Structure formats: structure tokens, C-alpha cells
Amino acid sequence: MSVQFIDNFSAQTTESKRQIIATQTGETDKILTTLEQSLPDDPAIRQRFESFSENNLGLYSLPMGVAPNFLINGKIYHIPMVTEESSVVAAASSSAKYWYSRGGFTSVVNGREKNGQVHFLSKAPQAWFDAAIRELGHRFTDELRPHVEAMEARGGGVKTWKIEHRPEVMPHYYRLDVTFGTADAMGANFINTCLEVMGRTLVAYTMEVNPDSDTCVVMAILSNFNPGSTVTASVSCPVDRMTTKGAEPRDFAERLVMATRIARCDIHRAATHNKGIMNGIDALMIATGNDFRAIEAGAHAWAARDGQYRGLTEARIEGDLFHFSLTLPLTLGTVGGLTSLHPVAGAVLQILGNPSAEELMQITAALGLAQNFTALRALTTLGIQKGHMRMHLGNILIGLNATRDEHDKVTEWFNNNTVSLAAVRAFIENLRQNGQ
């Protein structure tokens, strides 16, 4: 059967949604079985997952590993990571081990301020808005009160606001810029609610006093660019302790400095460099039920904040000391949203010792730095493919339905030979035909 337009799909039950979609594939039974087998047995958990997103068909599983023994600010963490990329957990674990014996990671939160904007149009002049600040402030406070009480009790709330005329964007365009504290929550709904209330209040008051100003909101939404909510993770040790296979300690340290410099200056390298950092950060954000797209968007906007997209880490040698650090914004939460609803996210936070949002920022930045360290270590010494392809080999073998015996023979052979899908397939075919 070919793919057809489906009328009124969202009104169907979950079972019939599965049936309708499976019927259009031409392999109805196989697809239905796969989707049904993806569901958890417990009906309560099944229902909970269904409530997370619209038009639910099933569950898509990803492996969750753990990178043990991260020493961060003097405390040990075993960091759960959800990722499909085979080398990512191994890379984080290897970095954790390396730095454990060299003093561990230091991680410092530089600020926790989030922001959002009401983008609006008005023919009222900037001078009028400047003069109206006090009255607008009173009105904002009154209208926001029911929405901010709970957050204020937890130490958050609306912190500052200002109105900026930006006619260079378009005629009559203004921006109301608001900063927020959201305690241990990511706070997206809180911020967006406050911004919409402030937008309505601003339009009502401006039109009351300036009925001809045509004041209207274009949109009100949080920003994922949060330069006021950054964290810095760093490691440091004497250069002569920078031991590694394939390079002398000073040579290795100098190569790391060169690699970070290249990533800071060359966009081609910067994108890949930062992708490697986000390999770790996303894996932890997914495991803890955080919005990894928001974290990604924020990290890349930060990487481009001076107009050129740059690598996020820095390395330097000062005298006999090697320093390596990562600074990036992280707007994450440890309460509310999926962090509280996803059963596995709850377990992950427990494994991490139920951290506050601030502590999770510290852990996350250390993990990103660790990931980058292992990637650069491989890239600047033995090359990435040796370790990467060894991990990738496992996936190739699953794809080729290798037996345990074939697995062992292939692993032994490819210890000293270059891994590729074609080479592994040829090796296995040879084994299967000739038994050796």
C-alpha cells in the first residue's frame, strides 16, 4: 500500500495510530510487532511515555552507559550517558581516569541568569518608554505576582528588564529584554509565561497612554543564548605528567595547545571540535531528561558570540604547567519537566547524588572538557581511527550477525589491520566459506 494522507490522525487512539501507520508501510505485521515490542510492560509507565509527546507510536531505545570515576571539585561522580556513538562513553571514561590521577577537574559556575525577550512594534518614541519605566514596572509587578510567587519562594523570579529601540532591524521595532532566575528548574515555561504577561501588560499600558502608537507584540519567547549562565571546567598539571602513547609529555601538551588554537581560528575544525564536546554533554543531558537542543543551540551561539564560530576549549602552557579549560552556557534543570517525569532520568539524578542545577552544570562542563581531551589526545598522537574503529567494529559485527567465534577471530585480526565495513565483511565471508 502506498503512503496516503491521513485525516484526523490525532483523534485516533494510540493503537489505531500504530495500525494506520503500519498499514501504509506494506509490512504491517512486522512494523506493528516492532512498535509494540518497543513498549514497556508496565501500563502506568507506558501511559506516562504516551503523555510526553503527541501521536505516540512506541518507544525508541538508546543505550545508557556510565563513565565512572570523574573527580570534580574533590568529589567522585559516576556519570550516566545516553548515546548511540560507541566510542563516546569509552572516551569520557578514559579521560576521567587520566585526570583522576592528576588532581581531577575544577568546575565553577560563573552565573545563573537566563533571559528572554518581548519583540514588539510601537510608534511611541524611546523617550516615552524611558519616562514610563516606573509606571510600567508597577504594572509588571502587579500582573506577574500570581505567576512568580512560587518561583520567588525558591529564590528565582524576574530579575531585571529594559526596553531598547532597534530601528536598524525594522521601523518601530523595540525589544523588551528580561532576565530571570529559575532556581533548580530549567524554567522554560516559567520564563515564557512571564514574557507573555509582560508583553500584554506593555501593550495595554502603551495603548492606554498613546492610542495612536499601534503598539503590538510580534513575539515573546525565552532566548537560548545565555551568556549570563556559564560554567568553566578546567584541568591542570605539570607538563612532565602529560604522559601518553605516541608522544613525549611536552610534545603532547604542545600539540593540545596547537589543536585548540586551530579550533579557535578555523570554522571547519571548530565545528568538529565542538561536536566532540557536545557528544558528552548531550549524552548527559538526555540521561537527565534535560532539553539537549536548547543546550546545543546555546553552546553554538556562545561559540559564535564575537562574530566568528570558534572552538569552545582553551589550552595553554605556563612555565611548567599545562592548563586546559572549557567555558560554555548551560541552562539546565534538576527539577520539573522530564527530569521529574522520566523514570530513568530520576535514577540518573540519584546516581549523580541528586545534584542541584548548579552542581549538574559543573558535572556537565567537566564531562564536555573530558570528551574534548580524549578526542584531541587521539587526534594529535595515534590518530582517531584506531580507537574509534575498534569500537565501530562491534556494530559492524552485529550488523553482519557474527557468531562469538567469528567475533573473536575478527577482533584479533583487526587489532593490527585497518577496519572498514568492506574489509570486515570480506574477512567474515572468507571465514564462513573456508572456516578460517
Q: Which residue's CB is nearer to ligand MEV, number 180 or number 324?
A: 324
The distance of closest approach from Cβ of residue 272 to ligand MEV in the complex, given in angstroms and rounded to an integer, is 4
Cα gap 71→387, rounded to integer Å: 24
Tell me which residues in 268-307 interact with ligand MEV (CB under 6 A).
272-273, 275-276, 279
CA distances from 219 to 165, 175, 292 (A): 16, 10, 23
**Min separation Cβ 81 and ligand MEV, Å:** 13
Strand pairing partners for 323? 236, 316
Q: What span, in angstroms and rounded, lies between the C-alpha atoms of 148 and 212? A: 32
CB of 82 to ligand MEV, least distance (A): 15
Cα 165 from Cα 126, distance rounded (Å): 6
Residue 245, phi then psi, degrees to nearest 5: -70, 135
Nearer to ligand MEV, 80 or 387 (CB): 387
Q: Which of residues 42-101 bind ligand MEV (CB under 6 A)?
A: 85
Q: Please, which residue, 82 or 136, has the CB nearer to ligand MEV?
A: 82
Q: How far is the CB of 69 from ligand MEV (least distance, A)?
A: 22
DSSP lists the bridge partners of residue 70 as: 77
User: How far is Cα 73 from Cα 108, in angstroms, rounded to an integer?
Assistant: 9
Q: How many helices (H) and strands (E) does the chain have?
A: 16, 10
| CA nearest to 200, candidates 239, 115, 143, 128 | 143
Q: Which helix (H) or strand (E) holds 269?
A: helix 267-287
Decide if 230 contacts 115 (C-beta within 8 A): no
- Cβ atoms of 287 and 81 closer than 8 Å: yes
Spatial contact of 117 and 195, defined as CB atoms under 8 Å apart: yes
Of 182, 118, 155, 143, the C-alpha closest to 337 is: 182
Which runs of consecutive H residues, i.e. helices, occur in 101-159? 126-131, 133-153
Which one, 85 or 406, has the nearer CB to ligand MEV? 85
Closest-CB residue for ligand MEV? 276
How many residues sit in the footprint of ligand MEV (CB under 6 A)? 9
Q: Do residues 197 and 144 lie in contact, with contact meaning Cβ atoms separated by under 8 Å?
A: yes
The nearer residue to ligand MEV, 114 or 310, going by C-beta atoms, is 310
Enumerate the active-site residues: 85, 275, 291, 388
Q: Which is nearer to ligand MEV, 35 or 89 (CB)?
A: 89
Q: How far apart are CA 244 and CA 235, in angstroms?
A: 16
Beta carbon nearer to ligand MEV, 79 or 375: 375
Verify binding: residue 31, ligand MEV, rule CB under 6 A: no
The site map against ligand MEV for 345-384 (x = CB under 6 A) is: ------------------------------x---x----x
243 phi/psi in degrees, rounded to 5: -80, 145
- Least separation in angstroms between residue 84's CB and ligand MEV is 11
Name the minimum Å distance from CB 384 to ligand MEV.
Answer: 5
Cell numbers at residue 67, please? 563513565
The SS3 of residue 331 is coil
Q: Residues 206-235 vs ligand MEV: string with x where CB under 6 A?
A: ------------------------------
Least distance in angstroms from the C-beta of 376 to ligand MEV: 6
CB of 91 to ligand MEV, least distance (A): 8
Round to whole Å and give the CA distance between 337 and 342. Answer: 9
Is the Cβ of residue 275 or residue 316 nearer to ligand MEV in the bound state? 275
Q: Which residue ranges make up the site for ligand MEV (CB under 6 A)?
A: 85, 272-273, 275-276, 279, 375, 379, 384
